[in-house]
Structure 1
Amino acid sequence: MTGITFEKTGQDGKARTGVIHTTRGDIRTPAFMPVGTAATVKAMMPDSVAATGADVLLGNTYHLMLRPTAERIDRLGGLHKFMNWDKPILTDSGGFQVMSLASLRKLTERGVTFKSHIDGSKHEITPERSMEIQRLLGSDIVMCFDECPALPADRKRIAESMELSMRWAARSKEAFGERPGHALFGIQQGGLEEDLRQQSAEALREIGFDGYAVGGLAVGEGQEAMFGCLDYAPDQLPEDKPRYLMGVGKPDDIVGAVARGIDMMDCVLPSRSGRTGQVFTRLGVLNIKNARHMDDPRPLDEHCGCPACRNYSRAYLHHVFRSQEIISSMLLTWHNLHYYQDIMAGMRDAITAGTFAAWQSEFHATRAQGDVDPV
């Protein structure tokens, strides 16, 4: 396949750093992908997202298929032009919505029939249709169509789901065809069962992909169980390809995943939290709506270089959040995304220097201190 190339530039323990080379630019790994569900990272301009340090965005196949439709985006020049983002875009396959919208769908060997959560209209996604939608969108990294059961689930259900996903992976690969400059990633399933994960990894290797995702985690199993799975799952995937953990997560989830050999992650958490007043800092999480910030002239994080921290006080950010001003979502989202990209840059530097264990210890110790004392 001639989609992308992955160059590993350093390793410290299981943690890896490198570069994914795409036709639209390089993605430095470990990479965090902000989520642009409906062709926008909510409350952010594209150049602001790039300014946080993001090399790649995630777009959502299911939502874009329903509105404004993939066909319309294609007619208007593709997703990059449509949303004014010239760096790489990864699109998910619609598979997660198969799980999260379970009450609205019917699952068969052929694919999934959905009722739209917007207007109740019926739609079908098959592996072939998912590949077609993602081709129309023009994303650089395409995910194969899979099915993911919510955890906990019994072993029989997880095994059947994994086997179906592997059949769908083969169909996705066939439907993807030859698309120079575009990559297709396979998705490992198998719940928390090591042998099922191994079976899935072997099936994906046999099909052959440009990269491999660890799917079916961050779906309710808790961090301890997720880390237990990540202690072996990335090792089952090819060493020379990017490994992507889907839908993760909180800052300590991300650091723990990288320590276990993960190269790419995405999550709505930093942007969604920004809109609800939850702020991630080196010293942990703070809630800007709390009255303790009302008279505080200090920044959210004195070590942060984002516009919210450079130019505004906690008192101001508390005021605009309580007043429901739009600038609150803009500034807090920018801060959270900036903080996440700072974590990624810190890990890349530490892995390169061979000091990742020390970096990790300091990261956890600093967060454990908790927020600064009130004024």
Structure 2
Amino acid sequence: MKFNVTSVAKSARFGCLSDFSRIPEAVLETPLLLLHTRGAAVPHLSYDLLQMITTDHHLLQMPLVTLVEHAKNVKAFGKGIAEFAGLKEYLTYATVQDPGTATPEGYHEKNSISLWTRGGRKLVDPHTYISCMEALKPDLFQTMVDGDTPPASSAKRVKRSVDDTLKWSSMCTELKKNSEILKDTPMLACITGGYNIKERLRCIAAIKELGLAAGYVIEGFHTNGESASKLNWEEVQPVLREILTSLPENLPRVFHGPVTPINLIKLVSQGIDIFDATFAWLAAERGGSLIFPNSLLKDASPLTETLPSVRPLLSNAEDKSDDKQNTDEVADRVYEIDLKDKLYFSDTRPLVEGCSCYSCRKYSRSYVHHLMATSELQGPILLMMHNLHHYINFFRGIRLAIKEDQLEALQEKLELFVSTRRI
């Protein structure tokens, strides 16, 4: 795999990933959107529906936590997870956890990580992890990582996360070298250390000594799921700046999780290259249709209609005061409209005026509201089709903005849109 940066606007980078051994003709432009999967399928979408959204080359994010129980079957199949899932024309990237689902905190073992599957907690050590990678045969994968370092983590917890990550990275590197199946597969190193700059730099220095990293995954700022939507940029930015300054510029940087569109643009502006589509999926899960302006093009302007106001996102401290809050209450819904709301009972407009996706061309808000109110399976399908289409176009808009040195203008457009929806 090769990574080339072809354009830089301040710190934001436009480039491409290419020369994948399994699909050599694939060229993926960055900033890149990973298509998030669960159980080797994009949530709510069959292969045919996914093809209706996009026929381009894409990199599928394959969380091991959703696949580990099937690793033996995939290994017996012998051709890897892409072909096993009927998605052989897509590239695959294996991750440890599912960025769209909160990872339980506090379950730490000396020699293994905890994967919370439908069958319960499974402990995975480096040998088992590499064995799973050999079964999945991904086009690239990340090393084992301890990223359990939310903002309130103690110094002891942060230090242990780095120690464990470095130990596992070293073992994964050696096991990969000795694997006939994986020896030529790109492996991404994980950078942990929470919000402690000293520990982050210690992690980076040790990872560099190991060598062989094809890129870097910035872990440990959140614990996946909605926690990623609550990132405090004022806390993240100074740590991230030190991290990225210390990393090689010729390798891609990855940031997992459903960060908000504004924070995503801020991450791009700092030099992050790869993200995932969990934000679009979680919006569909709670009945939301993404409506935020996704490019600087005139036909992608914010809706001219008066939208219902949305309360500001609660802080982590406020969340802790009420552990019974559900996903809807803790999610930042300013970027979407809630199709479960009776407000849309008789609204005959498409989800987003001017959107060319299948859902917007064929169905109305009223119809999707009815589907959600009656818990019909088609409801989340139509929302996921729209949200993924909208999010893919968002990344096209970001790449165009970088090439035209207009990323700051796109961020300002989003911030203006958000400000009009806040109570």
Q: Normalising by structure 2, what TM-score? A: 0.79
Structure 2 CA distance for partners of 1:227 and 1:328, relative to 1, 3 Å: farther
Return the alpha-carbon distance in structure 1 between the equivalents of residues 221 and 354 of structure 2. 32
In structure 1, which of residues 361, 368, 375 is the aligned counterpart of residue 419 of structure 2?
368
Structure 2 CA distance for partners of 1:348 and 1:293, relative to 1, 3 Å: same
Q: 1:55 matched to which residue of 2?
A: 58
Q: 2:305 matched to which residue of 1?
A: none
Classify the secondary structure of the residue corresponding to 2:141: strand
Return the alpha-carbon distance in structure 2 between the equivalents of residues 349 and 245 of structure 1. 20
Q: How does 1:287-326 map to 2 (within 5 A)?
A: 287-326=338-377
In structure 2, which of residues 269, 274, 296 is the aligned counterpart of residue 264 of structure 1?
274
Q: 1:352 matched to which residue of 2?
A: 403
RMSD (Å), alpha carbons: 2.5
C-alpha displacement of 1:180: 6.0
Classify the secondary structure of the residue corresponding to 1:146: coil
C-alpha displacement of 1:71: 2.1
One-letter code of the match for 2:232? Q
Structure 2, gaps ≥5 residues long: 293-301, 303-334
Structure 2 CA distance for partners of 1:228 and 1:334, relative to 1, 3 Å: farther
Q: 2:40 matched to which residue of 1?
A: 39
Q: How does 1:114-129 map to 2 (within 5 A)?
A: 117-120=117-120, 123-129=122-128
Return the alpha-carbon distance in structure 1 between the equivalents of residues 255 and 395 of structure 2. 14
C-alpha displacement of 1:136: 0.8
Classify the secondary structure of the residue corresponding to 2:346: coil
Return the alpha-carbon distance in structure 2 between the equivalents of residues 346 and 185 of structure 1. 27
Structure 1, gaps ≥5 residues long: none
Return the alpha-carbon distance in structure 1 between the equivalents of residues 244 and 3 of structure 2. 16
Q: 1:275 matched to which residue of 2?
A: 285
**Structure 2 residue 14 is matched with structure 1 residue 17:** yes
Classify the secondary structure of the residue corresponding to 2:67: helix
8 A Cα contact 1:34 1:54, kept in partner: no
Structure 2 CA distance for partners of 1:303 and 1:199, relative to 1, 3 Å: farther
Classify the secondary structure of the residue corresponding to 2:73: helix
Per mean C-alpha deviation after superposition, the further-off stretch among 74-83 and 267-276 is: 267-276
Structure 2 CA distance for partners of 1:223 and 1:335, relative to 1, 3 Å: farther
Structure 2 CA distance for partners of 1:106 and 1:305, relative to 1, 3 Å: same
C-alpha displacement of 1:354: 1.9
**Structure 2 residue 177 is matched with structure 1 residue 205:** no
**Structure 2 residue 250 is matched with structure 1 residue 240:** yes
Classify the secondary structure of the residue corresponding to 1:320: helix
Classify the secondary structure of the residue corresponding to 1:18: strand
8 A Cα contact 1:30 1:262, kept in partner: yes
User: Which whole-Å deviations, capped at 9, do the CAs of 1:13-51 have from their partners, x for residues lacking one?
Assistant: 111111111232222211121221211111112354353
Classify the secondary structure of the residue corresponding to 2:375: coil
Structure 2 CA distance for partners of 1:353 and 1:117, relative to 1, 3 Å: closer
Q: What is the total number of aligned residue pairs between the two structures?
A: 362
Q: 1:164 matched to which residue of 2?
A: 164
Q: How does 1:88-167 map to 2 (within 5 A)?
A: 88-94=91-97, 100-102=103-105, 107-108=109-110, 110-112=111-113, 117-120=117-120, 123-151=122-150, 152-167=152-167
Q: How does 1:66-85 map to 2 (within 5 A)?
A: 66=69, 69-76=70-77, 77-85=79-87
Return the alpha-carbon distance in structure 2 between the equivalents of residues 252 and 102 of structure 1. 27
C-alpha displacement of 1:190: 0.7
